[in-house]
Structure 1
Amino acid sequence: MFAMMENARLEALHLAQDTATGLRAIIAIHSSKLGPALGGCRYLAYPDDSSAICDAIRLAQGMSYKAALAGLAQGGGKAVLIRPPHVQSRAALFEAFGRMIESLNGRYITAMDSGTSSADMDCIAQQTRHVTSTTAAGDPSPHTAMGVYAGIRATARARLGGDDLQGLRVAIQGLGNVGYALAQQLAAAGVELFVSDLDVGRVQLAVEELGAQRVSNEELLTTPCDILVPCGLGGVLNPQTVSELHCAAVAGAANNQLASAEVADELEARGILYAPDYVINSGGLIYVALKHRGEELPAITAHLAKIGQRLTEIYAHAQADKRSPARVADALAERLLYGS
C-alpha cells in the first residue's frame, strides 16, 4: 500500500468503517500544496478492497492535476465508499461518512460523484461543513458539461480547422447527468449525434428529443466519427480500443479515460488528438470549489470559459514538442505541484 502511495506521491490515505451503518470508506488525499483537498465521493460496488483503494488513489491524483491546471487554490482528494449489498439506512451511512470527514479538520472537502447525489451530500452536511454540491449549492453536472462543450470546440479548432460544430459527427458514450446535458448542447449546435448507454431509456430519450442515432455499447467506440466523447467510467481507452478507433479526436467528460499513460502515445501515433480528461472536464470542480468559497455565478462562468483556452495552449505546446497533449498536461501540472 505504501508503495502505491509513494508511486502516486499521495500525502495520506484514510480508512474508516462503521458497522452500525455498513460504512466502509476510503479517503485519499493526494496533495494539499495549493489548498485543502477537494474531490468527489463515489458510492460503488468493488470486486475487492484493493480495487477500491487503487481507484481512490488514482482519482485523487487526477483531482490534484485538475485543480492545478484549473488555477484553483485547492488540492486533490477522492473518497470511495464501498457499496454494501444491503443497507438499512442510506442516510445514516452518509451521516457516518460526514463524521469521518469532520475528523479530518478541513483537510478534505467532498462532493457528488458516481453513485451519489445532492441528497447524499445533504446527509453529510448534517455532520460537517466540509461538503459541497448539496441541494442548496446545486448540481455541478451542467457546469461540467459546459466546460466539456467549450473543450470540444477548442479540440475541433485544433484538429479540424474550425470551432463551428455544425454537421460534425460526434459519438457520445454515456448519457448520465453530464453526458446528456452535453448531448443537448451539441444537438443545439447542429452536430450529428451517435449515442450509447447501459440505460436504454436514456438512449431512447436522446433519440426522441435530440434526434440522436442509437448505437450499441459494443459498437460505439468503433463508430466512424469526427470526435469521440467518452462520458462513462474510466479506462475506456486501452491498446485494443485505440487500435479500433475511427475518429479524429477524443474529447470527453469521463475521468481516467486512459488505461495507462502509454495509451496517450498510441493515440498520438495514430494522429488522434486527445483532450486530457482532467483539463476538459474540470468545469464541475471549478463550480463546486468556487461555490464553496462563496463566489457568485458570473465569476464561476468566467472561470469556466477558460477551459477552451487552456486546452488550446496545451495543444500548441504538444504540437511544438511533438508530444501527446496528455504528456504536456501532466508536465505542466507537476511543475505547479512539485516545481519539477
Structure 2
Amino acid sequence: MTIGLVLGRVVIINITKLLVANVNRSTLSHDLLHELPLERDVDLLVITEPNRYESAKSAWIADTVGDVVIRNVSNRMALSFKERAEGVIATELDSMIIVAAYVSPNISIIDYERFLDSIYRILSRQNKKFVLLGDFKCKTLYAGSSHSNRRGELMEEFMDSIDGHCINDGTPTYEARGHYSILDLVIIDNIWLRDQCELKVLGNDIASDHFSLQLVIRDGTYTAVERPIVIRPTARQVDKIVDKVSQRLSTIIELTPDTLTSIIQQEMDREIRATRSRRQVYWWSNEIACFRNTLQQARRKKQRLRIRGGSEYDTAVKWYIEARRQLNRYQESLKGSLGQTLRGVGQ
C-alpha cells in the first residue's frame, strides 16, 4: 500500500512491488540481494538459481528441487503457499496468484514442453488473476528479442493458451561477454490493464550476469480519505520537490487550487519515478511494439481456431504468417538503417 499526495487529502493506492533476480547459486550475489528490498521498498522477493545454503537459513518458499524461491519481505500482505513442482512455485498474495519459475538451459525440447505443461496445470487450477515470472531461457518476439528460437515458439504458444501477455519491452535482462539477451520474462493475465503493471530492468548491482527486475502492480480502486497530508518520498526527495515547486510557483501570477495540485503531482512523479538503468535495444521503436501486438493477436486467433479448423483457421494461419513476416522484415530494415547511421556518426 502506497500513499500519494493530493492537495488537502491522502489517496491510498494498493501497490505491490516484486523484485526478481537470478543469483547463479552465488553466495555473494545472494547476500547483496538482501539489501535491495529495503532500498526499493519491495513486498515480494523472487530468486531463481538461489544459493541453497543461504536460502535454507530464512523462511523461503521453494520448489521441489530448490531452483526457485520466494519470500514475503514486507509483511504488508499475506503470502500463502499454493502449489509447487520442479522449477515452479505458486503462491497467493492478496488477491492474485504469483507463479515463479526457472528452467535449465540444458534440458531437451520435450522436457521444456513438460515444464510449460506443469505451469499450465497449476494456473488452470487457480481462478484468480496471475503473474508469471522467472528465467525461462528462451528468445521470443513477444519479449522484444530479434527472433524466436524453438523454445521461444513454445513459450508463445503457451502464453496464448493461458491468455497471458508478456510485458517485457525489449530491454536486455542478461549479459555475458558483451552479448545481451532477454531471458527473464514477466507474463501477466490479460485481465490486467496494461497501465496497471510496470516492469523495470535494474542495473547489475548483485554481481550476476542476470539483471534484476522490478515489477510494480497497481491493483484495486483509489480510495480518498480525509487525513493529514502524508508524503511518501524520502526527506531528500521532499526537499527537491519543495524547491522545484517553489521555483515554478514564482512564475505564476494567478494560482488556483487545481494548478497547485497539478504542479505538486508532476514534481512528485518526476522525482519518485526512477529512470531506467539500462536502455532498450537501439533498434526498438513504437512501430515494432505495434507489429508485435498484431502478431500476438494473430497467434491467439490461430490457436483458438486450431481445433475448429476450416476456412477461418486457414485465414488465421495466413494472417499469423504475414504478421510474423512483417515484423521480421521491419526489424531487419530498421536495424540496418540505424546501423548505417551509427557507423556514419562514428566515421
Same fold (TM over 0.5): no
Larger relative contact order (C-alpha < 8 A, sep ≥ 6)? 2
